[in-house]
Structure 1
């Protein structure tokens, strides 16, 4: 079994202090952000890598990273990480189910905050292609108004992306995706 890459939990983030390990994670699927490098042009960098809790939990579940925290370098359990994530992210379990499904399907998933959605989704990765999709996660029982749908559609069209509603069902074991394609009437 390959070695797990060491990360440290600090507040609401995970830090991969070893730049070589951070570069390896970044190359694996554009995980994290190199510290102080907003848009990395290459996957090799000489700074620590910062992971958000969603990425960290995904990688920990896949047994790619090992998480510890100071002062005693104690191991952080998946349960503790989920607890922290649930406090940080609204509707964490729904969003994490969608994140996992998209990642497991082979997409590159990044936070979608700058687009007003939950995730920006790439086919190949940031710097290689533009994210063709913006994903908003909803509970399958939520209602969405026509106004909300039009707003999302206008934004998606403006930034040249497809708008997707993702709704986990069956206890988050399956995800329903609704993709919207806009046209001029």
Structure 2
């Protein structure tokens, strides 16, 4: 803390600290920065501390102090006004300041070595959204370089929808009208051998991939979706008709997280997106907002990875996935079915 004489010099000019009862209370990072800039002196037991001594003192008192100081110093030297917040810092837009404009963003500081629980991320998002702020993750690597990510819910205010305006094609098979189409379960995929139906599903609704001129092969999630829509019925290799539960049991034996993945797939379809495998990008899905023709398939807008509510974000892996998505001009989304709702969380690398 500092005396009353510090309030005009430090708070009113640079908005350092928090004034109360003619005393200015400084956070350790603020004090370290001001000491580094030779704006203040710091005493402990009447002995002046130099910068290195105070650095050691603060590091003993506050977890990850050095990371917070690295980020604080970086933002201050970029010209931002910074104050304490529910996360680590709140920052004001360029040209703004405390008392004149509202803070724009909350900043949370994280080491690349520390896992970030999905539950903690959601709590940070809730805190920032409740006060209508931008949530920024400042990730500090082992060489003290900082990468900034904006993290947000993409389905906030019901804005996360595709534009596929037509339903699954009508699969009439004769004068009797509609009935489910037989399909065969191999091991990892389902095959339809009805040429007319296969072409409709592939050309008009972008399901699966043609195996040859007559047959369509479906992924397991696509097959279950069409089965639940009563568009196909699935038979095993012994020509026995399978129930949905039997199919799910088989699919889950191949892919343990099958139902977790399917819940997201189904929701994306209900939101009128076109989800296709994201394997080539190391994710579960690549997502198209709209596909008008297989002859003119656009670039997918999103990459999406399915996670559990107890997921731990490994920061080097997460950072690499975001960098890859941005390098191919796509947005990186993580999706988790919490039981109450499906959370769609976007990570975007930003420049400050």
TM over 0.5: yes
Describe the SS at the equivalent of 1:15: strand
Describe the SS at the equivalent of 2:313: coil
Relative to structure 1, the CA distance from residue 90 to residue 131 in structure 2 (aligned partners, 3 Å threshold; closer, same or farther) is farther
Matched, 1:92 2:258: yes
User: How is 1:70-109 mapped onto 2 (pairs within 5 angstroms)?
Assistant: 70-71=237-238, 73-109=239-275
Count of residues in correspondence between the two structures: 173
For 1:128 and 1:101, the matched residues in 2 are separated by 22
Matched, 1:68 2:244: no
What corresponds to 2:350 in structure 1? 183
What corresponds to 2:318 in structure 1? 149
Output one character per residue of 1:6-58: Cα deviation in whole Å (capped at 9) or x when no partner: 2111222111101111011124421110015xxxxxxxxx3200011111011
For 1:90 and 1:177, the matched residues in 2 are separated by 22
Match of 1:117 among 283, 302, 310: 283
- Unaligned 5+ segments in structure 1 are 37-45
Matched, 1:16 2:192: yes
- Hey, which bits of structure 1, 4+ residues long, moved more than 6 A? none
For 1:63 and 1:85, the matched residues in 2 are separated by 18
For 2:203 and 2:350, the matched residues in 1 are separated by 37
* Higher Rg of the two aligned structures: 2
Task: Report the CA distance between 1:2 and its aligned residue.
Answer: 2.2
Match of 1:131 among 300, 313, 326: 300
- Unaligned 5+ segments in structure 2 are 1-176
For 2:204 and 2:183, the matched residues in 1 are separated by 16
Contact 1:107 1:124 in 2 (8 A): yes
Task: Report the CA distance between 1:63 and its aligned residue.
Answer: 0.7
What corresponds to 1:57 in structure 2? 224
For 2:227 and 2:329, the matched residues in 1 are separated by 33
Matched, 1:164 2:340: no
Task: Report the CA distance between 1:174 and its aligned residue.
Answer: 2.2
Higher relative contact order (CA 8 A, sep 6+): 1
For 2:256 and 2:287, the matched residues in 1 are separated by 19
Describe the SS at the equivalent of 1:182: strand
TM-score with structure 1 setting the length: 0.86
